[in-house]
A and B are shown apart, each in its own frame.
Chain A
Amino acid sequence: MTTGAIAFLERYQSLIGRLPGDSALRAAAAAAFRTAGLPGGTQQRRIEAWKYTSLRPVAETAFKPDAAPRHEAETILTGLPLLDAPRLVFVDGAFRPDLSVMPTAGFARFAEQPDFGTLSWPDREPMVALNTMLAEDGAALHVPAGYDAGVVQLISIAASDADFHPRHVIRLGKGSQLTLVEVSAGQGTYLLNTVAEFHIADGAHLTHIRLQDEAASAFHISTTYADVEAGATYDSFTLNLGAQLSRTEVHAQLTGAGAIAHLNAAQLLAGSQHADFTSVVGHTAPGCTSRQTVKNVLAGRSRGVFQGRIEVARDAQKTDGYQMNQALLLSPYAEVDSKPELEIFADDVKCSHGATVGELDAEQMFYLRSRGIPDAEARSILVRAFLAEALDAVADDTIRFRLEAAVERWWERQKA
């Protein structure tokens, strides 16, 4: 066991009795975390699910949960590309009603009405175990059947060098709709370890957009579980720009006939950033569709990881699953690791995946330059074009413009 893992367990010990919610669940999670430790935190055991990402830097960081904030949360919040819509703001893991704008959908704080949900696997996922053990706050949202809740922003701001373990549960009633825009940012060296679960009932539609723009020295771990029922849609897009190390893990289970999941993502990395997008799409009901395009743009000494598995159960006939992973290496020191996986137990299915890895197309580069466009600009045009394909998956123009603006800021940062 590493020092980091021990510190988390000791903190849990000291908080027993003061943490909200089911203490037996927390104890079980603590036992699981004690056994598993932080993935890659020690050399002894290799976990296939964490083949390309080691949390050793997390294990080696001393987080200070009780230290006073070193940064101004309000300033960080003002700098975010916010939409004119309800927002739930969490600062250093705690809900801040004063900064929030209440949604019309039913809202409850985890700190007041703890809800661990039913989809997560603390026994299988060490970071979910850690979250379950230490979660103190989070959002529970309930969209009633048939209701369109519009856009709700879920904002995480980190202002101190601590670790936060928010726990969100979002339930969409039959035929309801919600667009959830999740933005996370901060300053300092902190760990954000979120667990969120989405229950999407028959015919409901959840659009989930994420912008991860954490501080350059931060750690961002996010585990999402989605249960998509008959005729329902989980349409997600994740843009990862920040953090020294991030892991975005999504488990989407298509449990009702005709359910649809879109798990799209783009990661732009530079310096020594490491970003891991890992997804598992489980087709357990017949006639479901999943689509996934994940793009990595890797500069500097960065490392981009994609692991994606499509699982098709025996009964999930007429499954239509597609997955594409593309990586653009912009530097001789960047690295990409890609593991697209198919696990198929039904015969009447249409499943495919593709992966490409390489640099910018030399002919396209030449074409642009032959038209008088300088090298650097030509590169940036082509990289933007590469990303545009991924961003096109975001149907809402207002939201897509915000994401494009965030990408532009990322480019500016690289120039600086």
Chain B
Amino acid sequence: MAAVTETLDTVQSVTQSGYKWGFETTIEMDFAPKGLNEDIIRLISARKEEPEWMLEWRLKAYAAWLKMDEPHWARVDHPPIDYQDLHYYAAPKKKAGPKSLDEVDPELLKMYEKLGIPLKERALLAGVDPDSVENTQVAVDAVFDSVSVATTFQATLRKAGVIFCPISEAVREYPDLVKQYLGTVVPVADNFFAALNSAVFTDGSFCYIPKGVRCPMELSTYFRINARNTGQFERTLIIAEAGSHVSYLEGCTAPQRDENQLHAAVVELVAMDDAQIKYSTVQNWYPGDANGTGGIYNFVTKRGACRGARSKISWTQVETGSAITWKYPSCVLLGEDSVGEFYSVAVTNNHQQADTGTKMIHIGKGSRSTIISKGISAGKSNNTYRGLVKMLPSASNARNFTQCDSLLIGDQCGAHTVPYIESRNPTAKVEHEATTSKIADDQLFYCRQRGLSEEDAVGLIVNGFCKDVLKELPMEFAVEAQKLLAVSLEGSVG
């Protein structure tokens, strides 16, 4: 806990005010020319030294994307995105692929330090013997713009049979696994942004947990958008074989920019019989300034398939960043008695717009899902929960419970709840509750009477409001997430 606080302090001392992660690293970049066409895709594929089948897969996705329209059903509003005005490939220039940490650019390591990657992880990154900190290990696959630059703990993981590597490497090293699963949860033409990602994804993480293995450490990825006018298109694929367990942490920050940057990731999870995947995200990408200038456009497709009996996929997200968030981490509950969970905190302030939620598709008998969503709107922002719970005729005795709570801070923001409930099985049970409220004046006064400043009081009450979600986060993230909530709401009261 102290380590996290310390790193946060470090970060805060680096920048004076406002967005605390808004710095830019000066590393030489290797850009592809702006624009998107088959040649760019061929170039990406070639840079990645991909096999022919991967290129064909991308081109198929590109052909599908060309026929699709940008979706407009979400409650978000933005100027048209010029997809030809972006770089689709940007990578730090390097001599050769970094094989060990010594070869990692010190500038990069310094950046992770600024990012507030917990101290112990940095220590590990810096070469501390992993065995001496066995119980607190976090393997980090750090994605710097498009290229995964350092993957730690490969050896420890490999001993357990776990594969954790950049997906570009997986395409080369484990083509059969990738071929077998890639695009099976999120098909290439699933939606506009998923198709775009499928065509141009440059990197991301690949993770394979073999049968019966409990992953010996939390897997973690830090995403960061750094270069100017580059879209970021990560692709993550996690496969948990029968009886395996894995917890995956994803954290995101991006430097301050005036232009809006596009981010369209795809995450696919596959859980077989009795497997469990816990996927946690703390997203604090640059939200734009107080006037709504700049910020990340975050259009993400995250979906997990509970294919096996009693399998479980749990999504936990704390979303405080991005100018626009369009994100619905979902579960397709195919397996009998499979379990899907979605725990979400979404905070919007200033001019941020978030349209986020989940889909729980119940197919398997006895499948269960829980949705807990906490939306906090402040400033002039709009925060929408959009969720689908679908019980198919086969989903006998399936259950869903949904709780959506919205908190409004100030009278210039909006909080919206749009649940869709569709049931075609009489034995399936769906329960949905939603509330909207504000922080009561007497709660604020009570805290202030005890000596807390108004902002601290709001932070405390908001954290209390979010507790049911925050307690689902791994310890590494929970403290950071709490601080983030307070930081995100700075200036929203008084």
> Do A and B touch, yes or no (CB under 8 Å, in the complex)?
yes
Chain A positions near chain B (C-beta within 8 angstroms)? 48, 314, 317, 327, 329-359
B432/A342 in contact, CB under 8 A: no
Assuming A337-B420, A342-B416, is B434 touching A353 (CB within 8 A)? yes
| Assembly CA distance A327 to B438 (angstroms) | 30
Indicate if B393 sits at the interface (CB-CB under 8 A).
yes
Q: A344-B414, A356-B430 are in contact. Are A329 and B436 (CB under 8 A)?
A: no
Whole-angstrom distance between the alpha carbons of A327 and B431 in the complex? 11
B47 at the interface (CB under 8 A from A): no
A344 near B434: Cβ-Cβ < 8 Å: no
B interface secondary structure, majority: strand
**B90-98, B114-122, B266-274, B421-429: which one contacts chain A?**
B421-429
**B408 beta carbon closer than 8 Å to chain A:** yes
A342 to B383, CA, bound (A): 11
Is A354's CB under 8 angstroms from B421's CB?
Answer: no
> A301 to chain B: closest CB distance in Å?
10
Is B426 within 8 A of A329, CB to CB? yes
User: Hey, which chain A residues are within 8 Å of B426, CB to CB?
Assistant: 329-332, 334, 358-359
Asked if B417 and A355 make an inter-chain contact with CB atoms under 8 angstroms apart, the answer reads: no
| Residue with the highest number of chain A CB atoms closer than 10 Å, among B391, B393, B410, B434 | B434
Looking at chain A's contact residues, is the secondary structure mostly helix, strand, loop, or mixed?
Answer: strand
Contact B421 A352 (CB under 8 A): no
The answer, yes or no, to whether B433 is at the interface (CB within 8 Å) is: yes
Q: Hey, which chain A residues are within 8 Å of B10, CB to CB?
A: none
Question: Which chain B positions have C-beta within 8 A of A347?
Answer: 408-411, 413, 438
Tell me the complex Cα distance, A163–B413, Å.
45
Which of B73, B411, B418, B430 is within 8 Å of A346, CB to CB? Answer: B411
Contact residues, B417-468 vs A (CB, 8 A): 417-438
Contacts of A353 in B (CB 8 A): 417, 432-434
The answer to whether A355 touches B436 (Cβ under 8 A) is: no
A332 to B396, CA, bound (A): 10
Contact B433 A348 (CB under 8 A): no
Q: Known contacts being A335-B422, A335-B424, A344-B436, is A356 close to B411, with CB within 8 Å?
A: no
Chain A positions within 8 Å of B415 at CB level: 342, 344
Residues in A whose Cβ lies below 8 Å from that of B197 = none
B406 at the interface (CB under 8 A from A): yes
What would 29 A/B residue contacts be, using CB atoms closer than 8 Å?
A: A327-B423, A329-B423, A336-B422, A336-B423, A337-B420, A338-B420, A338-B421, A338-B432, A339-B418, A339-B420, A339-B421, A340-B419, A340-B434, A342-B417, A344-B415, A345-B414, A347-B411, A347-B413, A349-B436, A349-B437, A352-B433, A352-B436, A353-B432, A355-B431, A356-B431, A357-B421, A358-B427, A358-B430, A359-B429
Q: Which residues of B contact A (CB under 8 A)?
A: 73, 391, 393, 406, 408-438
A48 and B424 contact, CB distance less than 8 A: no
Query: Which of B411, B429, B435 is A357 in contact with, Cβ under 8 Å?
Result: B429
Determine the distance from Cα of A317 to Cα of B438 in the docked complex, in whole angstroms: 11
Closest CB pairs A-B (n = 10): A329-B426, A347-B408, A358-B429, A357-B430, A355-B432, A338-B421, A359-B426, A342-B417, A351-B436, A352-B435
Which residues of chain B are within 8 angstroms of A350 by Cβ–Cβ distance? 436-437
Contacts A339-B420, A344-B416: A314 and B411 contacting too (C-beta < 8 A)?
A: yes
B416 close to A341 (CB less than 8 A):
yes
Return chain B residues, CB-CB under 8 Å to A346: 408, 411
Chain B residues within 8 Å of A348, by CB? 411, 438
Chain B residue, CB-CB nearest to A340: B419
A350 to chain B, nearest CB (A): 7
Cβ contacts under 8 Å, A341 to chain B = 416-419
The docked-state distance in angstroms from the alpha carbon of A334 to that of B425 is: 7
Q: How far is the CB of A270 from chain B (nearest CB, A)?
A: 14
Question: Which residues of A lie under 8 Å from residue B425 when comparing CB positions?
Answer: 329, 332
Q: Which residue of B lies closest to A347 (CB)?
A: B408
A356 to B393 Cα, complex, angstroms = 17
CA distance A357 to B395 in the complex (A): 13
Asked if B433 contacts A354 (CB within 8 A), the reply is yes
The interface residues of chain A lying within 8 Å CB-to-CB of B432 are 338, 340, 353-356
Q: Say how far A363's CB is from chain B's closest CB, in angstroms.
A: 13
A329: B residues at CB distance < 8 A: 423, 425-426
In the complex, the answer to whether B423 meets A332 with C-beta atoms within 8 Å is: no
How far, in whole Å, are A334 and B393 apart by their CA atoms in the complex? 9
Q: In the bound complex, how far is the Cα of B416 from the Cα of A351, in angstroms?
A: 11
Q: Which listed residue, A48, A340, A345, A354, touches B73 by the CB 8 Å rule?
A: A48
Q: Across the interface, do B420 and A342 meet the contact criterion of CB distance under 8 Å?
A: no
Smallest beta-carbon distance B188→chain A, Å: 22
Closest chain B residue, CB of each to CB of A306: B421
Bound CA–CA A348/B415 (angstroms)? 12
Q: Would you give the shortest CB distance from B111 to chain A, in whole angstroms?
A: 39
Task: Look across to chain B and name the residue whose beta carbon is closest to the beta carbon of A48.
Answer: B73
Q: Choose among A327, A330, A335, A342 the residue that contacts B406 (Cβ–Cβ < 8 A).
A: A342
Most chain A CB within 10 A, of B408, B409, B436, is at B436
Chain A min CB distance to B485 (Å): 18
Q: How far is the CA of A358 from the CA of B430 in the complex (A)?
A: 7
Q: How far is it, in angstroms, between the C-alpha of A335 and the C-alpha of B391 when the chains are bound?
A: 10
Contact B406 A344 (CB under 8 A): yes
The CB with the most chain B CB atoms within 10 A, among A48, A314, A331, A358, is that of: A358
**How many angstroms between the C-alpha atoms of A342 and B419 in the bound complex?**
9
Instruction: For the complex, give the distance between the alpha carbons of A341 and B386 in Å.
Output: 9
Q: Which residues of A contact B417 (CB under 8 A)?
A: 340-342, 353
Query: Nearest B residue to A350 by beta-carbon distance?
Result: B437
Cα distance A346–B415 in the bound complex, in angstroms: 9
A95 to B225, CA, bound (A): 69
User: How many Å lie between the Cα of A358 and that of B409 in the bound state?
Assistant: 36
Closest A-chain residue to B389, C-beta based?
A357
Q: How far is the CA of A358 from the CA of B73 in the complex (A)?
A: 29
A136 to B421, CA, bound (A): 39
Min CB distance A268 to B, Å, is 15
Known: A332-B393, A344-B406, A346-B411. Is A354-B434 also a contact (CB below 8 A)? yes
Please measure, in the bound complex, the distance between the C-alpha atom of A332 and the C-alpha atom of B391, giving whole angstroms.
Answer: 12
Residues of A contacting B438 in the complex (Cβ-Cβ under 8 angstroms) = 347-349
Contact B411 A355 (CB under 8 A): no
In the assembled complex, the CB of A293 is this many whole angstroms from the nearest CB of chain B, namely: 15
Compute how far the CA of A347 lies from the CA of B438 in the bound complex, rounded to whole angstroms.
Answer: 6
A349-B420 Cα distance, complex, nearest whole Å? 23
Instruction: Determine the residue in chain A with the shortest Cβ distance to B431.
Output: A356
Give A317 to B429 CA distance when docked, in angstroms.
35
Max chain A C-beta neighbours (<10 A), residue from B393, B417, B435, B437: B417
- B414 and A343 within 8 A (CB): yes
B414 neighbours in A (Cβ, 8 Å): 343-345
**In whole angstroms, what is the CA distance A48 to B417 when docked?**
15
Q: B386's closest neighbor in chain A, by CB?
A: A341
- A175–B412 Cα distance when bound, in Å, is 35
A402 CA to B420 CA in the complex, in Å? 34
Residues of A within 8 A of B409 (CB): 347
Q: Is A342 within 8 A of B436, CB to CB?
A: yes
**In the assembled complex, which residues on chain B have CB atoms less than 8 Å from the CB atom of A331?**
426
B437 near A337 (CB under 8 angstroms)? no
* B437 to chain A: closest residue by CB: A350
Q: What would 4 more interface pairs be, CB under 8 Å, given A342-B416, A344-B415, A357-B421?
A: A329-B423, A342-B417, A349-B408, A352-B433
CA separation between A219 and B412, bound complex, in Å? 43
Q: Collect the chain B residues with CB atoms within 8 Å of residue A327's CB.
A: 423
